[in-house]
Amino acid sequence: MAELKEKVLTRHVGHADQIDIGAAMARGAYTVLPKGLKLGPDAVVEEVKKSGLRGRGGAGFPTGVKWTFMPQETPKPRYLVVNADESEPGTFKDRLLMEKDPHLCLEGFLLSGYAIKASLIFIYIRGEFVEAYQTLLRAIEQARAKGYIGVNVLGSGWDVDVILHRGAGAYICGEETALMESLEGKRGYPRLKPPFPASYGVYGNPTTINNVETLACVPFILERGAEWFAGIGREKNSGPKLYCLSGHVRRPGVVETELGIPLMKLLGDHGGGLLDPSRRLKGVIPGGSSAAVMTGQECQDLIMDFDTLASKGSLLGSAGVIFMDDSVCMVRALERVLRFYAHESCGQCTPCRIGSDWIHRIVRRIEQGRGTAQDLDTLVSVCDGMVGKTICVFADAAAIPAKSFVAKFRDEFNDHINLQRCPFPMAAGGARRAPA
């Protein structure tokens, strides 16, 4: 396990003028693009494959491999779609990159678009990120003026255009096929798979969708080599990683470190420890709220990489690390998590449309002191009726965490039911009822 010695992705985010192409270029922006264009698309794909880069949007799928799904020969236009819809609770790393180093992002997008021979790069950015949108828009125009976007980029023979497209408030549009539907001007309903985006994507054309942070790694991979990248972190879980710390942590924010850092080191060295040092760590959601919760005990030796977390029944996901100390009522925490899913379900398929709302209401009722003896069994059963039975994994994202809270903090749920009230009246969130 090799530590990250110096900042990579976030090395220039501290400079206010980094959003300006002149200043960014003085610090090295767009120096890798010409190199990549000389390598040829297939060589770029190979290098990214060798690096072991895994998707940082949530699924952790090997990026280079994903790129090879694009058809070798096709008369159809190819597209790269950048998923900048960052909406996973606890996550705010893509926003940092786009707001503070847009040219790094663009260079990554362009190199990746070139690798998959895309003629059009769509950037789908969530509607709420107005500053990032405006910053990127300016950056795109600056890059276009310099010839990095357009016809025959840097004499390579490659033509590409970039369209920056705003969403309008829907978490589900971060799901890659729902994103495509939204991009095509529809309700954000995930598509049936197969077909997969590489064969049938935007407008039915071969499409690859990647996360912002994932693509921001590409210039570094090409500049410093796949081996350099693979040498950071752990085997099969490599490279620099942005972790988003939030909740009961002294220094919340984005932390760049090696992928696979131990959680307690992340909390202690980078996060400054718990917000209230007199308290005890009660639970952590390690990868955005779609990840199963880990108890304070489980956190003690937890390694924050894709494979370790998966082996423990959770996910690294979007690396949104949410810390909860022992002032938190876990029933109330779950209610808050499930309220998110109830609001964000697209409603397309039966188990999720009804189930996401139902499990939230059960937990809310338990939290309000009106739980019944059967509720926990019903809750788990309804969750089982959702997992693996829907068009997309949103249902899993709601149901698996729900089951994890109940399994790991069952006593608290039972107390609410038996006492017919919350045993932590002054827990986080206060005694008053939260707005519905």
Partner 1 sequence: MSEPREPREPRETVKLTIDGSPVEVEKGSTVLQAAGRLEIDVPRYCYHPGLSIAGNCRICVVEIERMPKLVTSCTTVAADGMVVRTEGPKVEDGRRAVMEFLLANHPLDCPICDQAGECRLQEYSFQHGSGASRFLEQRIQGFKATPVGPHVVLDTERCIVCTRCVRFCEEVTGTGELGVFQRGAFSYIDVFPGREMDNPYSGNTVDICPVGALTLKEFRFKKRVWELKDVPSTCGSCARGCNVNLGTADNRIWRLTPRENQHVNKWWMCDEGRLSYEPLYAIPRLTEALLRSQAESPVKWPSAVELLAAKLKEARPGAVACVVSASCTVEDLYLVKRLVAELLKSDRLVVPQHIRGEDDALLIRADKSANTEGARLLGLPLDPDGSRLASLLKEAKEGKVDVILVFNEEVAGLAAARANAFICIASPFRTASVEAADLVLPAAAYGEHEGTWVNFQRRAQRVRRALVPPGVSLEVWRWAAEVIKALGSPAPYGSSGEVLQEIAGKVPAFAGLTVKGMGLQGVQLPR
Partner 2 sequence: MSATLRTGVKFAPAGRGLSDATLKKIDEAIARYPVKQSALLPALWLAQQEQGFCSLQAQEQIAGKIGVGPAFVAGVVSFYTMYHTQPVGRHVIDVCTTVSCWLRGSDELVQHLERKLGVAVGSTTPDGRFTLRTVECLGSCGTAPMCQIGDLYHEDLTHEKADAILDGLK
Neighbours of 124 (CB within 10 A): 23
Residue 86 contact partner, candidates partner 1, partner 2, none, CB within 5 to 8 A by sort of partner: partner 2
Which one, 311 or 372, has the nearer CB to partner 2? 372
Residue from 262, 355, 401, 429 touching partner 1 (CB under 8 A): that is 355
How near is the Cβ of 367 to partner 1 at its closest, in Å?
Answer: 13
Q: With beta carbons less than 8 A apart as the criterion, state whether 66 and 55 touch.
A: yes
Within positions 161 to 190, which residues make up the interface with partner 1, using CB under 8 A? 170, 187
Cα angle: 414, vertex 420, 426; to 5 degrees? 90
How near is the Cβ of 170 to partner 2 at its closest, in Å?
Answer: 5
420 binds partner 1 (CB under 8 A): no
Residues 6+ apart with CB under 8 A from 24: 12, 18, 30, 101, 103, 104
247 binds partner 2 (CB under 8 A): yes
What number of chain residues touch partner 2 (CB under 8 A)?
Answer: 63
Which one, 32 or 97, has the nearer CB to partner 2? 97
How near is the Cβ of 242 to partner 2 at its closest, in Å?
Answer: 11
204 binds partner 1 (CB under 8 A): no
In which element (H, E) is residue 343 found?
helix 330-344
409 binds partner 2 (CB under 8 A): no
Closest by CA to 101, choosing from 208, 8, 3, 236, is: 8
352 binds partner 2 (CB under 8 A): no
**Which span (54-62, 141-149, 168-176, 413-421) binds partner 2, by CB under 8 A?**
168-176
Neighbours of 77 (CB within 10 A): 14
Rounded to the nearest angstrom, the gap between the alpha carbon of residue 196 and the centroid of all alpha carbons in its chain is 20
Q: With beta carbons less than 8 A apart as the criterion, state whether 366 and 328 touch.
A: no
Place of tokens 């705010």: 92
Cα separation, 422 vs 332, whole angstroms: 9
How near is the Cβ of 197 to partner 2 at its closest, in Å?
Answer: 16
Which one, 126 or 416, has the nearer CB to partner 2? 126
35 binds partner 2 (CB under 8 A): no
Q: In Å, how far are 88, 89, 289 from 317, measured between CA atoms?
A: 9, 11, 9
Look up residue 417 and give its two tokens.
């039911």
Residue from 164, 249, 315, 346 touching partner 1 (CB under 8 A): that is 346
Q: With beta carbons less than 8 A apart as the criterion, state whether 132 and 125 touch.
A: yes
Residue from 15, 312, 361, 408 touching partner 1 (CB under 8 A): that is 361
Residue from 7, 38, 280, 343 touching partner 1 (CB under 8 A): that is 343
DSSP 256-310: EEETT-BHHHIIIIIT-SBSSTTS-EEEEE-SSTTSPPEEHHHHTT-B-SHHHHH
Cα separation, 405 vs 19, whole angstroms: 42
Q: In Å, how far are 62, 274, 277, 324, 410 from 428, measured between CA atoms?
A: 38, 14, 16, 9, 19
87 binds partner 2 (CB under 8 A): yes
306 binds partner 2 (CB under 8 A): no
Within positions 371 to 400, which residues make up the interface with partner 1, using CB under 8 A? 372, 374-375, 378, 381-382, 384-386, 388-391
- Interface residues with partner 1 (CB under 8 A) are 170, 187, 192, 342-351, 353-358, 361-362, 365, 372, 374-375, 378, 381-382, 384-386, 388-391
- Interface residues with partner 2 (CB under 8 A) are 77, 86-92, 94-95, 120, 126-131, 163, 165-171, 182-188, 203, 244-248, 252-254, 285, 289, 320, 322-324, 328, 333, 336-337, 339-340, 343-344, 346, 428-430, 432, 434-436
